Every structure is written in C-alpha cells, then in structure tokens.
C-alpha cells in the first residue's frame, strides 16, 4: 500500500503520480489531479484502496457499473476539466511533432446518444441464458450490463432481446460472440463475430433459433461475419440528403451529434471549392454534404461501402457529380497528379493514419486539407508531413464522441 499524490490524468485516462516517492511514475485508475490516495500497487500500476483527499472536480458517476466496467474511464470527473483535458491531449500530441495551432473548444457529444456498440456474450449460469455486456477493466471477464448512460435508450431497452439473440451463437464451447449493434432508421442492425467456424460454424438449428429471436426482437437484420442470418428490413441511415442502405458491418460514426458536428465543421471549411476529394469516404458520411458544394472524388477501401454510396447517389437529387471508387489508399493512394484540379481534400483515415496518402497530398497543389482523425498521435505525424511540405495547420476541433473515455476525435484544417 502506498500513499500517492495524483499530478495529472494520463493519455489512457488513469491518474498519474509523476515521481511516486522517488520510484518513478505510477498510474492509478479512477483518480483525479490533486488527489491524495492510498493505492495497492503492482509495478507501475495500482488500484485505489482509499481516497484520502478528493478533488473538488470529483462528481458522482451516473452509472452503477462504473469502476468495474471497462467501457468508461472518466465518469467521476466534472465536465469542464474533463473536456479541457481532451483538448490538452491534442495539444500534447501536436507538440511532440513540434506543431502549434489554435485548438478550439472541445465539442461535447451528449450522454445517452451512442448508436453503435459492441456487446460481448458469454454463457450464463445453467438455465439463465446468455450474459451480455462489456469487458471488465484490465480483464477478459464480462460485466453484464443492465444500464448504460452513454448509449441511446432505444438500444439499452433492447438488451434483453439482444441477450436472447446471442444464445444460439454460443452453441460451440469455443465461441465468444461479439454483437456489433447499430441503431439505424429502420431498427437494429447486428453483425455477429467471434463464432467458432473450424468445426463447421453455426448449425442449422442454431441459425433457426437466432432468426426466431431476431424476429421476436423486431430487429432489422442479423448477419454472421457479414453473412445474412435474418433480414426483415434494410438498415437505412440518412447522410445529408441521401438515404444509404448499410452493408453488413459497415463503419458508421458512433454518435449522430458528433457526426453532425464534424460534418458541419468540414463543410463550412470547404465552402467555395468546386472540386473536392473525400478519401476514406466510407458510405458517404462527408461525401453527400460535400457534393452540395462541388464535384467530389470519393475513394474507400471497402467495395460494399462504395456500392452502397453509389446506390444512394442514384436516388438523391440536387447533388454535384460524385465519382466513387473502391481503392486501397495504402497500396494505391490517390496520386498528386490525380489531385491536380482539386481545391480541397477531406481525409478520414483509420487509427493507423494515412502516411502513404499524405505523401501524395503533400506533393500536390491542393490549397486546403481537412483531416478527420480518431487518433491524435497518427494525426500529428501526418500533420508534420503536410507542414514540412508547405501547409499550415490553422486550427483543430477536438470532438468528444466517446463520452467519459480517453478516446478523442478531431478535425484539423490545413492551408497552403
């Protein structure tokens, strides 16, 4: 047991004691800057035994599962310092690459607004059915979820029906199903992964039971790693003026309010452009709004996503031309020569960043780049490459899409 003073919150959301009694940094989850705590330590990490002097910024967590569930790390922190910390994490990552810019106030997504979750299923006690929930902190054990103040109440209300759906997918003892659930305009879309396949996959009986559970739950669609198990309705989402039919397992921003904030900010910055590129476009989150401004070249690795985008284009009026292509932007990035007549590039890469595509953007004559990122670290590395090529990072909007987690989204604006 050690007494520690917490100096800051680290990048993963744990309290940080920088020089813990001369023994180096110590990390203690669920603590806040300025607090004195007693902690049981294992190496550099510990667990709180007692809070001797709480921070004035400490608040009562809104969820009964907080502290055990690994989904949230910062429910105990008041909103103002918590959001300021998110902006500071962006500043720190940029500073590591020698970059400075204006960091706008963090956009805060509201609680009870998340439309996309990944729920883990495990066998419950005999006769109790499947358990459904999130993993514990620092553990593979499951926390069966009864409430979730982060998630849309319509999805929370479906938890019992989702648990019944999960049961047939636990048929094989080696299966550890995860239900990737998306709330769409036509109901819940569920893609299940983690089912043992070497032994032949799901039996016909288990498929029938899954389809019956899906029907009873009034789900729109259930797929097993992309293969349809049950389909009552096409899962639809509205992106700008377009209505898009989601392919199984398609990427979609987790919170509609955060999506709107990022798209509105991007569209405002892209005004005046006649030709735009939307790279890593997905099913068209930014594409359709950008096509209200000018012609768009949309590129994305997922062929089903591009097909969904193209289909939606055909039934949406009032848009400038969209050229959409399925293209691996790592192995075959859009070349600087292909960007010759492009005014603005919008890019929304995965967590690993877009090093290969950034090289081509840097070589181009594009006047403005708007970069959307879910990883401030890789954003900063790509930003450094653009700045070295003559761009200036004008400003960054941090976005708190994953409420009470250390995860940070952002949108950065670069000009020549």
Q: Does 253 appear as a known binding residue?
A: yes
At 20 the three-state DSSP class reads helix
Question: Considering Cα of 79, then 83, then 86, then 88, what sign does the dihedral take?
Answer: negative
Q: Does 196 appear as a known binding residue?
A: no
Q: Does 356 appear as a known binding residue?
A: no
How do strand 36-42 and strand 275-279 relate by DSSP bridges?
A: unpaired
Sequence-ordered alpha helix ranges (H) in 149-255:
153-157, 159-166, 204-216
Q: Give the containing element (helix H, strand E) for 236.
A: strand 236-239
Q: What's the mean pLDDT in 163-168? A: 96
Quick check: is 374 catalytic? Answer: yes
Indicate left, alpha or beta for 280 from its phi (over 0: left) and psi (-120 to 50: alpha).
left
pLDDT in tens, 313-366: 999 999 999 999 999 999 999 999 999 999 999 999 999 999 999 999 999 999
Q: Does 300 appear as a known binding residue?
A: yes
pLDDT in tens, 47-63: 999 999 999 999 999 99
**Is a pLDDT exceeding 90 seen at residue 33?**
yes
Provide Rg for the chain, Cα atoms: 23
pLDDT band at residue 24 under the 50/70/90 scheme: confident
What domains can you pick out in the chain, each with its CATH number? 1-58 (2.40.50.140), 83-110+255-415 (3.40.50.150), 116-235 (2.40.50.1070)
The catalytic residue among 63, 69, 281, 374 is 374
pTM equals 0.94
Residues 352, 196: Cα–Cα separation, whole Å: 28
**Those residues with Cβ within 8 angstroms of residue 243's Cβ, 6 or more apart along the chain or in another chain:** 185, 236, 237, 312, 315, 316
pLDDT band at residue 12 under the 50/70/90 scheme: very high
- For the chain, the first-to-last Cα distance in angstroms comes to 55
């Amino acid at each position: 047991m050690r007494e520690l003073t917490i100096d800051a919150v680290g990048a993963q959301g744990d309290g940080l004691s920088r020089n813990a009694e001369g023994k180096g940094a110590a990390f203690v989850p669920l603590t806040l800057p300025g607090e004195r705590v007693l902690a049981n330590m294992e190496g550099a990490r510990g667990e709180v035994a007692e809070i001797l002097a709480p921070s004035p910024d400490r608040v009562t967590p809104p969820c009964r599962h907080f502290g055990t569930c690994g989904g949230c790390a910062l429910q105990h922190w008041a909103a103002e310092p918590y959001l300021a910390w998110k902006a500071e994490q962006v500043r720190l990552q940029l500073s590591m690459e020698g970059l400075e810019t204006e960091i706008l106030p963090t956009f805060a997504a509201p609680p009870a607004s998340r439309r996309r979750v990944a729920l883990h299923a495990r066998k419950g006690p005999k006769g109790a059915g499947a358990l459904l929930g999130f993993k514990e902190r620092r553990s593979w054990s499951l926390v069966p979820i009864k409430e979730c103040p982060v998630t849309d109440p319509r999805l929370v209300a479906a938890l019992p029906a989702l648990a019944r759906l999960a049961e047939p997918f636990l048929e094989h003892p080696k299966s550890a199903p995860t239900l990737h659930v998306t709330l769409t305009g036509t109901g819940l879309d569920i893609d299940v992964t983690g089912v043992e396949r070497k032994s032949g996959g799901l039996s016909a009986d288990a498929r029938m039971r899954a389809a019956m559970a899906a029907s009873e739950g009034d789900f729109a669609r259930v797929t097993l790693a992309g293969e349809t198990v049950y389909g009552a309705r096409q899962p639809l989402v509205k992106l700008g003026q377009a209505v898009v039919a989601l392919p199984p397992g398609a990427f979609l921003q987790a919170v509609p309010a955060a999506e709107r904030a990022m798209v509105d900010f991007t569209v405002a910055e892209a005004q005046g452009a006649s030709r735009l590129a939307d790279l890593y476009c997905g099913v068209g989150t930014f594409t359709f709004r950008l096509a209200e401004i000018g012609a768009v070249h949309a590129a994305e690795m997922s062929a089903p996503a591009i097909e969904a985008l193209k289909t939606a284009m055909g039934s949406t009026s009032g848009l400038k031309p969209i050229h959409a292509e399925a293209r691996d932007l790592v192995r075959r990035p859009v070349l600087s020569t292909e960007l010759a007549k492009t005014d603005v590039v919008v890019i929304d890469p995965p967590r690993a960043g877009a090093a290969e595509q950034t090289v081509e953007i840097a070589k181009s004559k594009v006047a403005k780049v708007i970069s959307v990122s879910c990883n401030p670290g890789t954003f900063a590395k790509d930003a450094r490459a653009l700045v070295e090529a003559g761009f200036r990072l004008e400003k960054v909007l941090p976005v708190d899409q994953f409420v009470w987690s250390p995860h940070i989204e952002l949108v950065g604006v670069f000009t020549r």
